[in-house]
Amino acid sequence: MKYEVCPAAEMGSALEHQLSTDTSRRTFLRAAGLLAAGLLVPQARADEGPHANAGSGHKLVLVVIGGVRRDETFSAEGLVNIPHLSANLLPKALFYRHVRNEGVTAHFNAISSILTGNWQHVDDWGKLAPTTPTLFEQFRKGLKVDRSDTWVVASNKALTNLIGASSDANYGPGYGANVVFPKQLMLQAVADALRGGRTANMADRSKVEAELESAMEGSNYEGLGWNVFDASDRLDPRVRSMVQTAIASFVKGSGPTSGDELTFFMTREVMRKFAPQVLVVALSDVEAAHFGSFSLHLAGIRTADRLVDQLWQEIEVNPDYRGKTTMVILPEFGRDPDGSSTNGFFNHRANVDSTRDTWMMALGSAVDRPQIIERPIRHIDLCPTLAELLGCPPIAGMGAKLQEFHG
Amino acid sequence: MHEETKLPENLRECLSKGVLKRLPLTFLPFVNQQLSQWNHLFPNERRSVERLLLFVASLSSEQSEALFRELVGIEEKMEVRKWHFSTSEQTIQNSSQLAASPFFQEWRRAVQAVFDAADEHASKTAGSAQTQANRLVLLGIPRALAVDPQTAWRRWQGTGRALNIAPEGRNSTQSALEFLLAGTPGALIDPSSGQIAGSLSESGAVAANAWVVDAGRSLIDALLAANTPRAHDDSAILVSYTRLEAYRQNFSHEMNTMRKDLADADAVFNRLRQVDVTRWCPAEVSGKTDLSEFLRALYLSGNGAVIFGNSFVEWAASEAFRRARPTFLAAQFGVRSKPKPFTGVAVFDNPDQVNPLPAVDDLPGSAIDAQMLALYVWLAARRFEEYQRSTVCVCLAESIAQAYVVAPPEFQLPKQTAPVTLEQLRSSLREWIT
């Protein structure tokens, strides 16, 4: 089985340190490795389609876009990379200029901290679930909501389906979200084509669709890491239909073919078919930075900028979302500064502002007026804020509600 | 990999007296790994390990306890003893556990404090002072990579100055670095002696003292074609991303067989640490075990070294500075291909194998990468004291006929206002390091 290199690039990363003046100290802290994540626990159905909204009726779309520095985004020189965010969306947004990740600046821990409102210190590779309840569990248990109302659509394979629910004994997978990794489907299709001697198909758009569908329909879903299969590893028919539509849109369009593009098409289809009340989207093209290509990293930022704008457009025209949805966009963290001993933009593990200090934008129903907030907030403040918007019963946690959001 | 380790006498003596027993648990993977790989370490690395262990051995038991007290306390808070923690080598699992701990940053600071103490001790020890030889870092962005003259040096933040390069009559297929290093007589690598920058070999019994790193192969091919037998000696390191293709492909193929779990990652990592790589090494690498082991570590440590030539150059140069502290390093950047449709970025060991569409050069993207990574090479050097004073850095952007020069005041060339020829530049650089 092939592994995806992006999380693998993370490996070597865990211990690269900031201590730079001596060979030993740097080597001491450096660990190399080749890690790919993925616990494979088929466990749930997608269940039903759109239905009456629970709780407050508020819908949430949360977009997390990997690691990006302020320098390449909301800075004078970075604005060129985010024309949609800065010109189209910012004028109507609630914008927090300083949002701190004070936890582990690795993908699984960062996203699970955002989703739980508590700093998580679990395995970096998604081997362990977050230890406190996710927003999905709070929502589903507190308001008796169906699983199909909570989805995670993620490009980043440093995540696993354990991102959808915590290990808290009072909550757990029974209250978790549907989790799908569209990019993994693409990788699986390429791997299958390679194994089957059909690589020529990957050069032909008309055949790529069949390869992607074949990867989805295959009897062994292990590599995908999704949790929308039933106990016999069969895909729910409605999910199958949704995925097929997304694949067709992805392949037949003349646009780019990155993992985030497929994630966008899958997200849009989830919205159209299931209209979940809580939808989390994790984009990761920016993580090309781990391979040292600054240009591909910038391209990933521009892709995320465009896709976020398209998602907002979908919210504005989709009757299941229009007028009752809040969309929040934030990076998981920044990236390390130029000249750091952690190899600068390649990585995101330095304990400095470049890595920890990011931004957040909110649009839609919870925003009563555009404003820019200079007061620093924390990643963990988002979960209790969103939980209240949804009408969830409050639970104890490290995060504090953001007063600028209005239900 | 099973050859006898040739530790120096003083180190053997302090090991026999049990110096390792004084070390905190989280120090052991690193120290044991360095000792077991002693034969493949560069001289600078050996000195560093020696400095640490001899320092600890010189302490009384009370002093030793005091030195490590904070770190041991943090390890207790981390509950390291309850972890599945290897003490014989650094593992991914070790890294993962440490990084996930809420005390990780505290631990890092405590580790730094120990090394600072060892450094301070070493600086007070007679004979530890190093002579400050003049050093040179030479970076090349080939003509095919068009850079914007308005912004080419913006990220260098005024640390040096741009120098116009006058047209001159070198072969148009030859890169500036090829001209400087392997051109006609006067090149920084002397074809008659094979010595890099002449005088380097006078001090040049020092292993790995001069490095040339190439994102493609033309520069290394040119150096090897100059029939320079001394280029094969231990003082000169020549590495080419393209010439290392067999090594790289076999390595990444092994990585791609890995299943998706942590235990398997460590198993694959261990296998790759032990696999015989000599059959994959080109001539300029084979026979130099420190270099082939350097490349193994480089590929295992990520940072795109297996994937992109320019990332390989940057990471190899950075690691060369960190591990070997060479007096001379030249790095030439190159062109990468665009990611192929539907394969994602750098996902498979051989993009040409998984998608038969012809590779297409990404010249604008490669230019952006090269500009950033050239700066990163210099910043990587600047982290170390050896490169903070008597070091000249020249970054040549051939598409705009400019060089950016960061140099101490005693390096005269940058004060000229008229364009300089590459011959003049070469002469100045040669004088600087001679």
Instruction: Concatenate the DSSP letters of all residues of A92-131 into one string.
Output: GSEEEEEEE--S--SHHHHHHHHHHTS---S-TTSSS--S
Count of Cβ atoms closer than 10 Å to residue A17 Cβ:
25
Q: What is the 3-state secondary structure (H, E, C) of B192-217?
A: CCCCECHHHHCCCCCCCCEEEEECCC
Strand partners, A403: none
Distance from CA of B219 to the nearest CA of A (A): 22
Structure confidence at residue B123 (pLDDT): 74
Instruction: Please check whether residue B59 is in contact with residue B14, taking contact to mean a CB–CB distance below 8 angstroms.
Output: no
Domain ranges of chain B: 9-124, 135-433
Q: State the Cα–Cα distance between residues B182 and B203, nearest whole angstrom.
A: 21
Gyration radius from chain B CA atoms: 23
Gyration radius from chain A CA atoms: 20
DSSP, res B130:
P
Beta strands in A243-401 (DSSP E): 278-282, 325-330, 357-364, 371-373, 377-378
In this predicted model, what pLDDT tens digit does every residue of B80-98 receive, in sequence order? 999 989 998 888 788 888 8
Please say whether the beta carbons of A93 and A366 come within 8 A. no
B233 — pLDDT class (breaks 50, 70, 90): low
| Alpha carbons B219 and B237: distance in angstroms, whole number | 13
Q: What is the mean pLDDT of chain A?
A: 84
pLDDT at A256: 80
Q: What is the pLDDT of residues B175-205, one digit of tens each?
A: 899 988 876 666 676 555 545 554 444 444 4
pLDDT > 60? residue B405 = yes
| Nearest residue, CB atoms, B98 vs list A3, A14, A203 | A14
The answer, yes or no, to whether residue A323 has pLDDT greater than 50, is yes
pTM: 0.88
Burial string for B262-288 (b: 16+ CB within 10 Å, else e) reads bebbbebbeebbeeebeebbbebbeeb
B394 contacts B140 by C-beta, under 8 angstroms: no
Domains of chain A: 5-390 (3.40.720.10)
Instruction: Please tell me the distance from the alpha carbon of residue B67 to that of residue B59, in angstroms, as a whole number.
Output: 9
Cross-strand pairs, B331:
B139, B213
CATH architecture of B135-433: 3-Layer(aba) Sandwich (3.40)
pLDDT reading at A69 higher than 90: yes
pLDDT interval class at A188 (50, 70, 90)? confident
Q: How confident is the model at residue B130 (pLDDT cuts 50, 70, 90)?
A: low
Poorest-confidence range of A52-56, A333-337, A367-371? A52-56
How high is the pLDDT of residue A20? 33
Q: Residues B110, B115, B117, CA angle at the centre, nearest 5°?
A: 95
Q: Are β-strands A377-378 and B236-240 bridged in parallel, bridged antiparallel, or unpaired?
A: unpaired
Q: How far is CA A101 from CA A19, A73, A120, A349, A375, in A?
A: 21, 17, 11, 11, 14
Partners of B255 on chain A (C-beta within 8 Å) are 3, 8, 34
Residue of A12, A26, A299 lying closest to B302 (CB–CB): A12
DSSP type of residue A176: -
CA distance B175 to chain A (A): 22
Instruction: Say if A28 is an interface residue toward chain B (CB within 8 Å).
Output: yes
Strand order in the sheet with B210-214: B161-164, B402-406, B391-397, B135-141, B328-332, B210-214, B236-240
B154 Cβ contact partners less than 8 Å away, ≥ 6 residues apart: none
* Averaged pLDDT score across all residues of chain B: 85
- Please report the number of interchain residue pairs, chain A to chain B, with beta-carbon separation below 8 angstroms: 261
Write out residues 112-151 of B within 8 Å (CB-CB) of A: 112, 115, 119
Which chain B residues are Cβ-neighbours of A106 within 8 angstroms?
99
The segment with the largest mean pLDDT, out of A203-207, A252-256, A269-273, is: A269-273
- b (16+ CB within 10 A) / e for B55-74: bbbebeeeebeebbebbbeb
pLDDT(B119) > 60: yes
- pLDDT > 70: percent of chain B: 83
